[in-house]
Amino acid sequence: MRKLYLAATALTAAVASQAWAQDTVAPDNADPQSTTPYYGTPAVPQPAYPDSSATQDAPVVAQDTTTAQPVNYQPIPLAPNPNEVANHSGIKFRGLRVEGDIGWTRSSSNHVSGRNNMGYGGTLGVDAVVDNFFVFGVEGNYWNPSKMWENNAGSNMNVGSQGNNIGTTAGGGYSARKAFEEWDATLRMGFLATKDLLFYMAGGYASGKQRNLYLNSAGVATGKYVGWSNGYSVGGGIEYSITQNFFMNAQYRWTQFGNHTSRARATLGFGFRFP
């Protein structure tokens, strides 16, 4: 009976020691081949989520607290105003134009200056702009001296007198020449000093109606010839755009008909340019 009791006690101790060994955790440096049981700290189950201590022990990422410097962006140029471009490119001096002219005029014959007079006329032309600064055009002009001054004699003599524009003929007679209307076809070239101001020159063909009156030594008319005399006209002026369509100009013209008659005129013109 005593032996049975001792055997039961030994078996119970062996089973208890085996269970205790399974509930303990061996240290990292424990020898896996060792047969010696380790009676250490019982294994403690780990929580499903890390506690606050694990969060506090996490490495802290440094933050850049320096002030951001502004980027030096280059400004993008704005698109130019279409009206300004149009003005600078000479849109005011492009296209069909019509104008009326009035001013001073004086004709000369056989190198003898006539009398001062007033005149009136008109111009029809068309212009084009090249390289935004140069204006080229063609135009037709009409000019007619009136009889407002010098005893209604215009730029010529009174019949029967020996005033201006009289040339002596054979036999002691006289020849008086009188200039009437004039038609010109000219080219115009100019430079845009500003978007509204044009300096220009003009020149071309001219044809004028004239009358040649022959008188004897007593001043009695013995014959008359009326016809057209051809020549050239040159001049220049300045033109200013008042608005997009209305303009004004001032110019001087010199016309030479053959080798016998010439005309000078200084005029003011007011006109309209079609859009």
Residue-wise pLDDT for 1-58, tens only, equals 566 666 666 666 665 556 555 555 455 555 555 555 555 555 555 555 555 454 555 5
Find, among 97, 136, 121, 98, the residue nearest to 184 by Cα: 121
Residue whose tokens read 């300004």? 84
For the chain, how many helices (H) and strands (E)? Answer: 3, 9
Task: Assess whether pLDDT exceeds 80 at residue 78.
Answer: no
For residue 146, tell me if it sits in a domain. yes
**pTM for the full predicted model:** 0.61
For residue 39, tell me if it sits in a domain. no
Residue 146 per-residue DSSP state: -
Position 18 scores a pLDDT of 60
Residue pair 99/137 in contact (Cβ under 8 Å)? The answer is: no
For residue 18, tell me if it sits in a domain. no
What is the rounded average pLDDT of the residues 186-213? 93
For residue 183, tell me if it sits in a domain. yes
For residue 144, tell me if it sits in a domain. yes
Residue-number span of the structural domain to which 172 is assigned: 85-273
Task: Assess whether pLDDT exceeds 70 at residue 77.
Answer: no
Residue pair 23/43 in contact (Cβ under 8 Å)? The answer is: yes
- The domain spanning residue 129 has which CATH number? 2.40.160.20
Three-state secondary structure string covering 191-219:
EECCCCEEEEEEEEEEEEEEEEEEECCCC
For residue 68, tell me if it sits in a domain. no
Mean residue pLDDT of the chain comes to 75
Q: Residue 2 CB: number of other CB atoms within 10 A? A: 6
For residue 196, tell me if it sits in a domain. yes
CA distance 244 to 131: 20
Q: Is 94 helix (H, G, I), strand (E, B) or coil?
A: coil
DSSP letters, 19-71, are HHHHTB---TT--TT--S----PBP-PPPSS--HHHHHTSPPPP---SPPPPP
Q: Which residues contact 205 (CB under 8 A, 6 or more apart)?
A: 184, 185, 186, 230, 232, 233
Residue-wise pLDDT for 133-170, tens only, equals 999 999 999 999 876 544 444 445 433 334 444 455 55
For residue 194, tell me if it sits in a domain. yes
205 phi/psi in degrees, rounded to 5: -80, 145
Total domains in the chain come to: 1
